[in-house]
Amino acid sequence: MTYQWPARIQRKALITGITGQDGSYLAELLLGKGYDVWGMVRRSSTINTSRIDHLYQDPHDEDVRLRLIFGDLNDASSINKILKVVRPDEIYNLGAQSHVKVSFDVPEYTSEVTALGAVRILEAMRELGLERTRFYQASSSELFGKAQEVPQRETTPFYPRSPYAAAKAYAFHITRTYRESYGMFAVNGILFNHEGPRRGETFVTRKITRAVAAIAAGRQERLFLGNLDARRDWGFAGDYVEAMWRMLQTEVPVDFVIATGETHTVREFCGLAFARAGITLAWRGKKTAEQGIAVSSSGQGTVEQGGTIASGGDGSLEQGIGVSSAAAGIAKQGTTVHSAAADIAEQGADPSGRVLVEVDPRYFRPCEVELLLGDPTKAKEKLGWQPRVGFRELVEMMVDADVAAAGAGKQP
């Protein structure tokens, strides 16, 4: 199914949301493949290009391959102008108000950017006659919301549970509508949660790994979290942008689920992250009174709780038996974890006996998505895509990066 592009003049890609986590990894990938990359950025009062600073080229240089251009998904005229100037071969629409909890606070704004942003681009493509341009829409596993099936696949009905998810549902359907109405190459990648050291600081994984680094360094007392029981299918963002690119290289435009096929609780992520810093957490109490307590800080971490749900390609569900979970593996084998973070914990104040994690209901959502678990079989078969970074490696990569930043005196 993979399409062989004819050798031809330099390919051009436009990325909305290039300053975000995924935008930065995708820009790296495309530049590495020889693309000319244009990134749409919105004006802000402080410079917010830190994730792509290492890719930045002075526009006065020769052979500039990354260019930034001002625009906003809320402003159709800016989108029109950009498409007229760039006339890209591929458009990756990653721009969004992407925080689920925040979408309850700013529902109308979220809809403007996250829902209508997509149709503004599609309509501009149509009006300008960009028939050969291919369009990728960043759809989300949040569409499955109150999951009607486990694991979730391309055919699973949607049940959005937030203004963010409702906006993404609109963008999903309008993308499909333009494909079917006008024959455009427009596809949805239904991506499950993907993370990495560049993840925004208020998403739960990064919030945890930054706190672990700060606590290990003796700079923070405690971490407050919301729903510890929520389960997510977490992968590495670097792997997921590869899937986006592959989706635009196929002969026929089709939508895909991109996931790891494993799910873990927030509690599990937290336990493994602290273990990487040499701090063993034990959990006591229930619901809002639950606490994570340091039972040792030896530089050799073990995790007390583990367990995973893994989706078989056949849709089977293995539950609660600790299969193939990194955290569970450590728990069972008492594996030693040694890392830079552990060394910091050894040098810092021993947190043994201290309450390090508490539940704060302010982080609960009016409507929660309890369980996400994707079935990436179709992507494996048709795109030849599969994730390279596993759950444990992901947690360790993120903790190590934040610890390194803390060690270098930077705010992680």
The phi and psi torsions of 310 (rounded to 5 degrees) equal -115, 140
Does 394 bind ligand NAP (CB under 6 A)? Our answer is: no
Sheet order of strands, 309-311 included: 231-232, 262-265, 309-311, 317-318
Tell whether residue 184 is a contact of ligand NAP (CB under 6 A).
Answer: no
Within 77-96, the residues that bind ligand NAP by CB under 6 A are: 94-96
Other residues' Cβ atoms within 10 Å of the Cβ of residue 408: 8
Show the site string, 102-141: x = touches ligand GDD by CB under 6 A, - = not: --------------------------------------xx
* Residue range at the interface with ligand GDD (CB under 6 A); choices 27-35, 238-246, 302-310, 360-368: 360-368
> Smaller CB distance to ligand NAP: residue 50 or 288?
50
Applying CB under 6 A, which part among 20-28, 283-291, 338-346, 388-396 lies near ligand NAP?
20-28
Cα separation of the two ends of the chain: 42
Dist. CA 351–CA 343, nearest whole Å: 14
Check binding of 326 to ligand NAP (CB under 6 A): no
Q: Which of 12, 13, 14, 17 binds ligand NAP (CB under 6 A)?
A: 17
270 binds ligand GDD, rule: CB under 6 A: no
Under the binding rule (CB under 6 A), the answer on residue 260 touching ligand GDD is no
DSSP assignment of 210-237 equals: HHHHHHHTTS---EEES-TT-EE--EEH
Q: Look at residues 216, 220, 218 and name the one whose alpha carbon lies nearest to residue 341.
A: 216
Q: Does 77 contact ligand GDD by CB under 6 A?
A: no
Instruction: Name the token pair of 385.
Output: 């895509």
Tell me which residue of 170, 276, 274 sits closest to 222, measured CA to CA: 274
From the list ligand NAP, ligand GDD, none, partner contacted by residue 232 (C-beta under 5 to 8 A by kind) = ligand GDD
In the shown chain, the binding pattern of residues 120 to 159 toward ligand NAP, with x for contact by CB under 6 A and - for none, equals ------------------x-x-------------------
Per rule CB under 6 A, is residue 266 in the interface with ligand GDD?
A: yes
Cα torsion through 27, 28, 33, 38, rounded to 10: 30
Packing angle, helices 21-32 and 237-247, rounded to 10: 60
Q: Name residue 234's amino acid.
A: W
State yes or no: residue 204 binds ligand GDD (CB under 6 A).
yes
- How many residues touch ligand GDD (CB under 6 A)? 24
Q: Which residues contact 155 (CB under 8 A, 6 or more apart)?
A: none
Q: Which stretch binds ligand NAP (CB under 6 A): 42-50, 154-162, 219-227, 358-366?
A: 42-50
* Bridge partner list, 137: 93, 188
Three-state secondary structure call for residue 402 = helix
At closest approach, how far in Å is the CB of 112 from ligand GDD? 16
Give the tokens for residue 289.
């009174």
Nearest of 45, 27, 43 to residue 35 by alpha carbon: 27
304/286 Cα distance (integer angstroms): 16
Question: Of the ranges 71-79, 153-161, 284-292, 374-382, which one interacts with ligand NAP (CB under 6 A)?
Answer: 71-79
Contact residues for ligand NAP, defined by CB under 6 A: 16-17, 19-23, 42, 44, 48, 72-74, 94-98, 113, 138, 140, 191, 193-194, 200
Residues in the site for ligand GDD, rule: CB under 6 A? Answer: 98, 100-101, 140-142, 192-193, 202-205, 207, 225-227, 230, 232, 266, 363, 365, 368-369, 372
